[in-house]
Amino acid sequence: MKIARLKPHKHKNLYGGYQWVFTTELAEPPQAAAGDIVTVISDAGREIGIGFYNPKSRIAVRIIGTCDDVVDTGFFVNRFRQALALRTRFVGSSQAYRLVFGESDMLSGLIIDIFSNVAVVQTFSYGMDIRLTEISNALRTVLPHLTAIVERNTMQVRIKEGLPLREGVLWGAVSGPVEFTENGIRLFANVLDGQKTGYFLDQKVNRHWVQQYSRGLSVLDTFCNVGGFALNAGLGGAVQVLGIDSSASAIESARLHAAANGLTTVNFEVGNVFDVLKDQALSGRTWDMVILDPPSFAKTRSALAGARSGYATLNRAALKLIPPNGYLVTSSCTQLVTEHDLLDIVYAEAARLNKSLRLIHRGNQAPDHPILLAMPETQYLKFLVFSVY
């Protein structure tokens, strides 16, 4: 048994369900290689759990189970079945959902999204990465309808773990984009070379909110990617919808989605969102609803000040386009920016423009991205809707 012993008083969070052991919390490096399973014990010798060790990462150990667990294909089968049981109630007959959300499913370093009959896997830890064969075999057992398993391991965080960037088909065959339905909209996930796993599933419930309340409105959807919010607004009865994104390939996909769903009021353009917002304000253009769904502005605390400034600039520019009785729909996926931070930023920018706001809705990530209370890092998405007057 390979032991990772903690320094004094470094065990309390772990007893509460926290799953990361940082290098600075270890009494000494364990006699183990990257990806090995180690037993984490307190300074007094009490066993806490087992986890994957990585001497190359600041997260030295990622706890994944109890000391009685054996990490083999059967281990992953059981965890995937538990994850599926949780999602079954919330995703219903949905053809696309997140099956595994890392720490929230006691599988730190693993993400799995399902699109119809294709699973897309991402591994963020050394221990998970060297067990892709067991993970793939377990997926085929739990989800026998799968025809392909795709690896999308192109995230820069892998470099910090000492892992190479990699992507491709692990098993089966994929001939092109995978069709699925979300909120009554026909969509195609580009699982081989789209962003992240091929489609952003975390905003599903929030997109549906827009669909429910956009009838009769003109809607500007910024950072629209492949059209999620814009398409929902169009299906919901918006009279005019424009989606903006800097990615030409994403806009091409968005246009295909609009055509596939017969949404003639929905259009898309390639552009820099900050420039488009500025130009539209100068031209006097207004929109009944402006949606802001930018990418993460900060991955580290050192970048947090810049992120807050970016959100301030973005929300101020959007507010300039919204007339009285219009709606600001603003979102942040920056984990380090809290909902309180975002509320403060939006309030301050509205005050600068002599506008008043009423908060009418708040949301977060979809239920298939559950938040583990012991791990604040699992909560990252903030979604706020304001009435402007």
Q: Is residue 276 very low, low, confident or very high in pLDDT (cuts 50, 70, 90)?
A: very high
Distance CA 291, CA 328 (A): 6
Cβ contact 254:243 at 8 Å:
yes
> Does this model's pTM top 0.85?
yes
Nearest to 292 by CA among 233, 354, 362, 222: 222
Cβ contact 256:293 at 8 Å:
no
* pLDDT on residue 94: 82
Average pLDDT rounded to a whole number, residues 99-124: 98
Is the pLDDT at 348 greater than 80, yes or no? yes
Distance CA 25, CA 280 (A): 52
CA 22 to chain CA centroid, nearest Å: 23
Which listed residue (231, 333, 371, 381) is catalytic? 333
Average pLDDT rounded to a whole number, residues 22-40: 97
* pLDDT on residue 218: 99
Nearest to 140 by CA among 94, 194, 197, 77: 77
Residue type present at position 135: I
Average pLDDT rounded to a whole number, residues 194-204: 95
* pLDDT on residue 330: 99
- The 3-class secondary structure across 107-133, one letter per residue, is CCCEEEEEECCEEEEEECCHHHHCCHH
Which regions of the chain does DSSP assign to beta strands (E)? 3-5, 20-22, 37-41, 47-53, 59-65, 96-101, 110-115, 118-123, 148-153, 166-172, 178-182, 185-189, 218-222, 240-245, 266-270, 289-292, 326-332, 357-363, 382-388
Cβ contact 40:63 at 8 Å:
yes
* pLDDT on residue 90: 86
Region of residue 257 (phi > 0: left; psi between -120 and 50: alpha; otherwise: beta) = alpha
* pLDDT on residue 310: 96
Phi, psi of 92 (to 5 degrees): 55, -125
Is the pLDDT at 387 greater than 80, yes or no? yes
pLDDT in tens, 316-331: 999 999 999 999 999 9
- Sign (positive/negative) of CA torsion 15, 20, 23, 29? positive
Indicate the burial class of 311 (C-beta count within 10 angstroms; 0-12, 13-18, 19 or more). Answer: buried
Cβ contact 145:117 at 8 Å:
yes
Distance CA 110, CA 116 (A): 19
Cβ contact 238:220 at 8 Å:
no
DSSP state of 201: -
How far is the CA of 118 from the CAs of 165, 329, 357, in angstroms?
Answer: 21, 32, 43
pLDDT in tens, 281-330: 999 999 999 999 999 998 889 999 999 999 999 999 999 999 999 999 99
* pLDDT on residue 12: 82
Q: Give the burial string for 71-80 (b: 16+ CB within 10 Å, else e).
A: bebebbbebb
Quick check: is 333 catalytic? yes
pLDDT in tens, 205-255: 999 999 999 999 999 999 999 999 999 999 999 999 999 999 999 999 999
Is the pLDDT at 93 greater than 80, yes or no? no
Q: Give the burial string for 85-106 (b: 16+ CB within 10 Å, else e).
A: ebbeeebeebbbbbbbbbbbbb
On average, the pLDDT of the chain sits at 97
All structural domains of the chain, each given as residue ranges with its CATH number in brackets, are 3-65 (2.30.130.10), 73-179 (3.30.750.80), 202-388 (3.40.50.150)
Helix (H, G, I), strand (E, B) or coil at 317: helix
